[in-house]
């Protein structure tokens, strides 16, 4: 593992005075982590520096061919003053998988761990303490070769920035309305849908604008081939409770393998609920809504945590769910996940990692 050089800022910024108005990903802390990759030398020179703009050639490959990956995780303050990360090993493993898909040299896992823990430890005073807040952690890698040929870059930057954040959706745990998109698609099997790549999110914007114009918070994607099977929402995975069973689309190569998705599955199974990971068609969903079998729907994601869905719209069909309120499983998952993350509940799964 490489030693990280630390240069502390001489001009620390004021911390946000009102933690109820943080928003998501708008404020950044005093320091950032940065490490470089050079072909022949590997990843080198890890350091923590005052947060600053980065200078790149206009020809840097990331700007032209989107060779970029990112991750998202959070650090939490516990009531007894400890700092916890939630399942960082899962993000680090997923980052490695994404890198391999995008021909980016993966950051050695122990350097990734050390980067997270050291940066969080330097910035721990930035972790907000109000309920529903956390320090959002955004690691990312960009291709920096100054070259317009389409091929994997020979140089990269790995950077981690931190943002004290509140709820992803302005309404917090209030149920969101979701638009089921049947025209645009996000990803196809064999593409990069299961990778955490910025390009997937660029591909989602057009439909998100369409949904927003109709008053919907996010888009639920259908598969890119038949446009029939449910995949995921723009910033989260999706779950349904139908006739007592918890159902989520099976990972198929075009769906992001969410850490909170895995957590929901493990919790529901531990609670003895019947859980299915399988293909679910939009027609099955519409039918379940019609007969009253669609009892609950929620999204899961690091940023969104557990986000109850109050209504789904598919064409002209509007499906109201759980009376537009928060269903009991969504609420129990939210309470349990946030309880473990913030140390209020015992972590019998060993999911949290303390940062000293």
In whole angstroms, the minimum distance from the beta carbon of 302 to ligand COI comes to 3
Nearer to ligand COI, 37 or 168 (CB): 168
DSSP secondary structure code for residue 106 in this structure:
P
- Check binding of 200 to ligand COI (CB under 6 A): no
Contact 277, 248 (CB under 8 A): yes
Q: How far is CA 86 from CA 64, 90, 177, 340, 355, in A?
A: 34, 9, 28, 8, 11
Q: How far apart are the first and last CA of the chain?
A: 18
Under the binding rule (CB under 6 A), the answer on residue 303 touching ligand COI is yes
Q: Among 55, 35, 31, which Cα is nearest to 44's?
A: 35
CB nearer to ligand COI: pick between 65 and 70: 70
Tell which positions 115-154 bind ligand COI, by CB under 6 A: none
Binding segment for ligand COI among 116-124, 261-269, 297-305, 322-330 (CB under 6 A)? 297-305
Binding residues with ligand COI: total (CB under 6 A)? 6
- Stretch 17-56: interaction string toward ligand COI, x if CB under 6 A: ----------------------------------------
Residues 6+ apart with CB under 8 A from 39: 154, 155
Nearest-approach distance from CB 289 to ligand COI, in angstroms: 27
Q: Least CB distance from residue 119 to ligand COI, whole Å?
A: 17
Q: For residue 303, what are its two tokens?
A: 């940023």
**Candidates 13-21, 152-160, 240-248, 296-304 — which segment interacts with ligand COI by CB under 6 A?**
296-304
Q: Name which of 36, 32, 63 is nearest 48 in CA terms.
A: 32
CA angle 174, 176, 180 (to 5 degrees): 170
Smaller CB separation from ligand COI, 166 or 314: 166
Q: Taking CB under 6 A as the rule, does residue 160 contact ligand COI?
A: no
Buried b (16+ CB within 10 A) or exposed e, 190-206: ebbbbbbbebbeebbee
Runs of H (alpha helix) within the chain: 61-65, 88-101, 109-122, 198-213, 259-270, 282-291, 328-341
Q: How far is the CB of 57 from ligand COI (least distance, A)?
A: 27
- Whichever of 303 and 333 has its CB closer to ligand COI, that residue is 303
301 binds ligand COI (CB under 6 A): yes
The single residue among 29, 235, 330, 341 that binds ligand COI, judged by CB under 6 A, is: 235
Q: In the bound complex, what is the minimum distance in angstroms from residue 80's beta carbon to ligand COI?
A: 26
Binding of ligand COI by 330 (CB under 6 A): no
From the number of C-beta atoms within 10 Å of its C-beta (0-12, 13-18, 19+), residue 258 rates as: buried
**Could you say whether residue 327 binds ligand COI (CB under 6 A)?**
no
- Alpha-carbon span 273 to 292, nearest angstrom: 19
**Secondary structure (3-state) at 86:** strand
The reply on whether position 302 binds ligand COI by CB under 6 A is yes
Least gap, CB of 269 to ligand COI (angstroms): 22
Residues near ligand COI, by CB under 6 A: 72, 201, 235, 301-303
């Amino acid at each position: 593992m490489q030693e990280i050089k630390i240069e502390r800022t001489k001009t620390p910024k004021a911390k946000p005075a009102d933690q109820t108005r943080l928003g998501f990903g708008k404020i950044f802390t005093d320091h950032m982590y940065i490490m470089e990759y050079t072909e022949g030398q590997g990843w080198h020179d890890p350091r923590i520096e005052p947060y600053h703009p980065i200078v790149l050639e206009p020809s840097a490959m990331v700007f032209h061919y989107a060779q970029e990956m990112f991750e998202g995780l959070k650090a939490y303050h516990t009531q007894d003053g400890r700092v916890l990360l939630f399942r960082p090993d899962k993000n680090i493993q997923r980052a490695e998988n994404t890198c391999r898909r995008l021909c980016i040299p993966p950051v050695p896992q122990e350097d990734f761990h050390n980067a997270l823990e050291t940066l969080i430890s330097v910035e721990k005073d930035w972790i907000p303490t109000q309920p529903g807040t956390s320090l959002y952690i955004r690691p990312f890698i960009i291709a920096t070769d100054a070259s317009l040929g389409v091929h994997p870059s020979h140089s990269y930057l790995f950077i981690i920035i931190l943002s004290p954040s509140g709820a992803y959706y302005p309404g917090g745990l209030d149920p969101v309305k979701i638009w089921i998109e049947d025209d645009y698609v996000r990803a196809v099997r064999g593409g990069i849908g299961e990778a955490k790549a910025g390009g997937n999110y660029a591909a989602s914007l057009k439909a998100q604008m369409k949904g927003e114009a109709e008053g919907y918070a996010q888009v639920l994607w259908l598969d890119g081939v038949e446009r029939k099977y449910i995949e995921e929402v723009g910033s989260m995975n999706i779950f349904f409770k139908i006739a007592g069973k918890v159902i989520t689309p099976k990972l198929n190569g075009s769906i992001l393998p969410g850490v909170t998705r895995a957590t929901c599955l493990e919790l529901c199974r531990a609670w003895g609920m019947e859980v299915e990971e399988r293909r679910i068609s939009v027609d099955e969903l519409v039918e379940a809504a019609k007969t009253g079998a669609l009892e609950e729907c929620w999204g899961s994601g690091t940023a969104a945590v557990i986000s109850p869905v109050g209504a789904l719209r598919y064409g002209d069909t509007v499906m109201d769910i759980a009376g537009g309120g928060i269903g009991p499983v969504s609420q129990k998952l939210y309470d349990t996940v946030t309880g473990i993350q913030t140390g209020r509940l015992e972590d019998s799964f060993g999911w949290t990692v303390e940062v000293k």
